[in-house]
């Protein structure tokens, strides 16, 4: 008889880890050492559960590269001991963390599932219990004595998503996240329907590598009508700029103003890696499809295709931190490394 899967809960902070004191109405951090006692439904899961917490729980707005690295190091240190990992995280920057972890954890062959909630775990109408219980259940799934899920995912409101495909769409509804350009990996209803044809295959024969160098000398430039020339030129000429996510219109289009094209061209020739991503919630960049993107393709900018802004930022940080050569940077970025783009 196979041993029960071992799952490690990692609490970083966020609403899911809060309990409301009804006398004062204030929120306080949940004691995860008493997790099973306070959520008896977990006894019904056929797995053993341990937990570890950040020494100081974070509002996810304060999540930064050192926290991503620490989270990845915990997973790396405990990788041989546990069969799956569930990360409890605030929802505001969860997609950024999920995207970053997908690149930091190379050759991942076990589930890392991020989840959180819109309401505290002790509230009457909370979504926290369902999100937590189903995330653990998904992390414990096995096929032929091997983890079913072998990638970084995000679970929220009855759906499991590829983490580096997600973006937060809503601050008020329980359905806070979506992956506009990729199907949900699993749907929780009366039955737990795992859509195995969409899962990342994982790396069974390779050892996990935890990358700890991320270069944050990058930025985002969102195009809009009336863009200020002086500000844009100053940004693109900054000596501290190594990478840029350029959020363009529609299918990757931009104004054809000579000063903008010239500034972008000079930055690229200086070694700045510029990725063209669409501002639209869904769809893909198609540089050269319209006249307003022909010159961007000629510069050439990196084609972000259907990557999210969150994943584009994380991928830039990862590849720049890894010291990828300028000659191969564009080719490697335009290659899907963790299923982040089509």
Q: Torsions phi, psi of 187, nearest 5?
A: -130, 130
Q: Where are the alpha helices (DSSP H) in the chain?
A: 35-38, 65-77, 94-104, 128-139, 229-236, 258-269, 291-298, 309-321, 326-333
Q: Encoding tokens for residue 164?
A: 């580096």
Closest CA to 200 of 251, 157, 158, 164: 164
86, 42 contact by CB (below 8 A)? no
Give the integer Cα–Cα distance in Å for 342 and 339: 7
Please identify every residue annotated as catalytic: 15
Cβ density class 52-76: b for 16+ within 10 Å, e for less: ebbeebbebeebebebbbebbebbe
DSSP letters for 151-215? SEEEEETTEEEEGGG-EE--SSSS--EE-TTS--SEEESSSEEE-GGGS----TTS--EE-----
Altogether, the residues listed in the chain come to a count of 342
Say how far apart CA 151 and CA 14 lie, in whole Å.
22
Cα→Cα distances 42→116, 129, 189, Å: 16, 10, 18
């Amino acid at each position: 008889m196979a041993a029960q899967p071992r799952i490690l809960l990692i609490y970083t902070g966020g609403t899911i880890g809060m309990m409301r004191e009804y006398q004062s109405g204030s929120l306080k951090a949940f004691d995860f050492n008493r997790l099973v006692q306070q959520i008896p439904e977990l006894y019904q899961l056929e797995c053993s559960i341990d937990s570890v917490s950040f020494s100081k729980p974070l509002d996810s707005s304060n999540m930064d590269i050192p926290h991503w690295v620490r989270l990845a190091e915990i997973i790396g240190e405990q990788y041989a001991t546990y069969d799956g990992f569930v990360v409890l995280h605030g929802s505001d920057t969860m997609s950024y963390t999920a995207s970053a972890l997908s690149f930091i954890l190379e050759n991942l062959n076990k589930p890392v599932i991020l989840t959180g909630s819109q309401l505290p775990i002790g509230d009457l109408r909370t979504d926290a219990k369902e999100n937590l219980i189903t995330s653990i259940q998904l992390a414990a799934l096995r096929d032929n004595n091997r983890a079913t899920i072998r990638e970084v995912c995000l679970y929220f409101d009855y759906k499991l998503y590829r983490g580096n495909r997600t973006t937060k769409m809503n601050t008020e509804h329980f359905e806070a996240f979506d992956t506009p350009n990729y199907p949900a990996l699993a749907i929780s209803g009366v039955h737990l329907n795992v859509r195995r044809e969409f899962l990342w295959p994982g790396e069974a024969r390779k050892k996990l590598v935890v990358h700890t160098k991320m270069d944050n000398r990058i930025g985002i430039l969102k195009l809009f009508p009336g863009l200020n020339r002086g500000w844009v030129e100053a940004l693109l000429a900054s000596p501290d700029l190594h990478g840029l996510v350029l959020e363009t219109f529609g299918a990757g289009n931009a104004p054809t103003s000579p000063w903008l094209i010239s500034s972008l061209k000079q930055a690229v020739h200086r070694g700045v890696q510029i990725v063209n991503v669409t501002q639209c919630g869904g769809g893909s960049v198609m540089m050269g499809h319209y006249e307003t993107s022909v010159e961007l393709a000629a510069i050439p900018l990196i084609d972000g295709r259907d990557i999210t802004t969150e994943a584009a930022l994380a991928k830039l940080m990862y590849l720049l931190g890894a010291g990828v050569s300028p000659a191969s940077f564009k080719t490697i970025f335009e290659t899907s490394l963790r299923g982040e783009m089509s």
